[in-house]
Amino acid sequence: MQALDYFQLALIVIGSAVAVFLIYKILKIILTPLRILVRFLLALAAFAALAYFVAQYFGYDLLAIVLGLLDQPNETLSV
d(CA 5, CA 12): 11
pTM of the model: 0.54
Phi, psi of 73 (to 5 degrees): -70, 140
pLDDT number for residue 65: 83
pLDDT number for residue 44: 92
pLDDT number for residue 29: 87
d(CA 54, CA 77): 31
Amino acid (one-letter) located at 35:
R
pLDDT number for residue 75: 63
Reading the chain (79 residues) residue by residue, the pLDDT tens digits are 687 878 888 888 898 999 999 999 988 888 888 888 889 999 999 998 898 888 888 888 888 888 888 887 766 655 5
Half-sphere exposure of 55 (CA within 13 A, CB side): 13
Q: In Å, how far from its chain's centre is CA 56?
A: 30
